Structure 1
Amino acid sequence: MKKLTSIWMMALLLFSVWAVPLESYASTGDQGINEKLGLPIVVYGEALSEAQKSEVADLLKVDQHEQVDEFSVNGQDLNEYIGGNPNSNMYSSVKILHKDNGEGLSIEIVTQDNITQVTKEMYTNALLTAGVENAEVLVASSVKVSGHSALTGIYKAYDAKGVKLDESRMKVASDELDIATDIAEEEGIDQDKVSELLTEIKKAIAEQDPATKEEVEQIVQEQLQTLNIELSEEDRQRLTDLFDQMRNLNINFDQVKNQLDDLTGSIQDIINDDGFWSSFRSAVQSFFQSLKNFISSLFN
């Protein structure tokens, strides 16, 4: 009888582990017109068919708003804002909700399976570089795309509403996104680790205020060592050149340091979650093995 009771206790314990609810994320819900901050902005990739555009509108929950300002983005915009190919087909689409000063920048990739190279942390880093703050940005695509062109849609949205972002900063932000995705793909480094590297370099630049390219190079090298990341000489040089451009543009990362700190925490949560689930799987496997051994012992 004691052995049978023990079996039931172990089964109950296993059920209680599985029954723990996972964290859920609330949607933005119904929103009326914010008279202070203006209408939500939706920018569609011009290459979308009408059916695809309708699908994207559903994904971005456009109908939850009483009114929106709608625009489209094409290859000419890509060329104008970041010097890209004017013949490019644009599919990535975005919705932007302006927020009060101090509320920060949040990014959500609604169609993660269709944005194949750029993570929300990469978008956040690039947009902070470009000078975009205090906004909620949703990115979606009805077809598989790298995700780079979503930046252009965001830039156009701000431009169309009369908010002029610095052209040099927009170009550097685009370069940053290119380098981040290249390093992740070519060097075989986890995307979250690359985002963490970029974030930590920016934080170090904000704290140390390097005056020369050599000092920027030293910061890059220190962060590579701290995060135990090995890059080719070419990619180390690309990072150095990128952040030296930021230094020459006098981008004040002190102004967004809290967001950079939050971004670091977010990335660490993702990395730690991977470790947690790996340990959890091992624990479950070990549990079942122990249960099997215990049950076998009852009949020996």
Structure 2
Amino acid sequence: MRKSVIGIILLSIVIVGIALPMGFSAQQGGKVITYGETTYNNANYKSNVDNFFSQQAHVDPSNIQSKIITASDVNKISGTISQRTYGSDQIFSSALVDLDENGAIKVTVDKAQVTVVTADMYISALKSAGITHGHVYVTSPVPATGESALAGIMHAYEEATNVQIPEAVQEAANQEIYTETQIVENDNVSADQLTKMVDDVKETVQNNNITDHTTIVNIIQNYTINNNINMTNSSIENLATSIGQVQTVQGDVQSYSNQVNQVIGNTSGGFSLDGLLSRFGL
């Protein structure tokens, strides 16, 4: 009887292996590393980044599928947001995405090297893109703001799930990170204060399906007054534009999120072949 059960399980595993996208190999699971091209092309930089991933995620980076994020990849997004153009010697931020971890999305940031964007800022932007589970690790071999890392993180999710994030959704999430980075750097607002405000305002906007720019501006202004937060009118306008952009792509966000949940198999965690085997004592 046990042999029959084992045979059925193994057959099921073969079928699952056929059905899963390329990112979910038996060797790699749902893990992908994205290296900034400057980091990847410098042996010392790459070694430093790999050491961070190894220590924080308890993995061997050499056994994990990887992708190089080029200046061209970043410029496709930054060109429409900040109008800044990066060179091939300026892409440092690197990320590891682990979809095998269960539960809500987590982000671990190398605070010694990522100087502006916090874990909560990444989480907020990733949720804006419909990414709600997995564990993300972000680092850089040299001090960097961290804003360009979001492009790599989203590429990693695409590689791990074989599901493309709609371009408008990527742009909205990157616009959110860029806007928040500018506010933290230029206004007297802490990253923690700003993230809480953005999350609260986004929740209000989404719950009431608000797309009118002036209404979003008024919501932000009232929030800053009630919470004694000092922001310039320009920053409020930019933040309202960013949050409005996130709201306008919610249909695409939901569609993407549904596709990812189908790939992973549930809405609360990742995929683990080892976990499937252990349930049957194999």
For the pair 1:71 / 2:67, whether they are aligned, the reply is yes
| 1:277 paired residue number | none
| Equivalent position to 1:59, from 44, 52, 55 | 52
- CA gap 1:98/1:81 in 2 versus in 1, 3 angstroms: farther
2:52 partner letter: L
Structure with more contact order per residue of length (Cα contacts < 8 Å, sep ≥ 6): 2
| Partner of residue 237, structure 1 | 237
CA contact (8 A) 1:39 1:68 kept: no
CA spacing shift, 1:193–1:228, aligned 2, 3 Å: same
Q: Which residue of 2 aligns with 1:146?
A: 145
Instruction: Tell me the equivalent position of 2:33.
Output: 42
**Which residue in the other structure is 1:208 paired with?**
208
Q: Which amino acid aligns with 1:248?
A: T
Alpha-carbon shift at residue 58 of structure 1 (Å): 1.2
Sort the Cα spacing of 1:36 and 1:82 in 2 relative to 1 into closer, same or farther, 3 A: farther
* Separation (CA, whole Å) in 2 of partners of 1:252 and 1:221: 28
Q: Mean alpha-carbon deviation: is it higher for 153-162 or for 142-151?
A: 153-162
Aligned-pair distance for 1:123? Answer: 0.9
Shift of the 159–39 alpha-carbon distance from structure 1 to 2, 3 Å rule, reads closer
Paired amino acid for 2:175: D
Aligned to 2:182: 182
1:80: how far off? 3.0
**In structure 2, C-alpha distance between the alignment counterparts of 1:85 and 1:79, rounded to whole Å:** 6
RMSD: 2.9
Name the CA distance, whole Å, in 2 between partners of 1:219 and 1:37: 45
Q: Distance in 2 between matches of 1:218 and 1:60?
A: 42
Post-superposition shift, 1:34? 8.1
Identity rate of aligned residues, in percent? 23
Q: Which residue of 2 aligns with 1:172?
A: 172
Residues 216-264 of structure 1 deviation map (CA, whole Å, 9 limit, x = unaligned): 22322232233221221111111221222222223699999xxxxxxxx
AA paired with 1:59?
F
Contact 1:106 1:136 (C-alpha < 8 Å) held by counterparts? yes
Over 4 Å off, 4+ runs: 33-37, 251-256
Give the 5 Å matches for 1:81-230.
81-83=77-79, 85-88=85-88, 89-99=90-100, 103-109=103-109, 111-161=110-160, 162-230=162-230
Do the aligned partners of 2:189 and 2:230 also contact (CA within 8 Å) in 1?
no
Cα distance in 1, alignment partners of residues 78 and 157 from structure 2: 14
Q: Distance in 1 between matches of 2:252 and 2:28?
A: 25
| Structure 2 counterpart SS, 1:42 | strand
* TM-score after normalising by structure 1: 0.66
The separation in 1 between residues aligned to 2:58 and 2:133, in whole angstroms, is: 23
Give the distance between the partners of 1:214 and 1:179, measured in 2 at CA: 18
**Distance (Å, rounded) in 1 between the aligned partners of 2:223 and 2:159:** 38
Residue 80 (structure 1) aligned with residue 83 (structure 2): no
